[in-house]
Amino acid sequence: MALYEIVYIARQEIPETEVEKITDEFSKILEKNKGKVLKTEYWGLRQFAYEIKKAKKGHYTLIGIDAPAEAVKELERNIRLHENVVRHLTVSVNKISREPSAIMQNNADDDFELKIDMN
């Protein structure tokens, strides 16, 4: 099996509990197809860089999975058909980190300044 990270964006109008239900649905689809979820992160309601289908915000969620290619194809098919998912991206990775992602680490910081290391 291979490792993948999937980020999907749900419509801004739905509540956070509905986003959790969507993630559970996707997890069940993977488990049915001999895959497993290793990590999930809800990144929150975030501003888009540009409007998508007349929306300015969306609920972002990251799912780290270990699954065969057929399971990933079936999951992507279901994601495309889901009415509350605006966009998604699937990336093959070598390792899924158990630590919080960079997005989650930024959210945990009280200091939201852009830090650039010029050295």
Number of H helices and E strands in the chain, helices first, is 3, 4
Tens of pLDDT, residue by residue over 7-34, are: 999 999 999 999 999 999 999 999 999 9
Domains and CATH numbers, the chain: 2-108 (3.30.70.60)
Query: What Rg do the C-alpha atoms of the chain give, in angstroms?
Result: 15
Entry pTM: 0.83
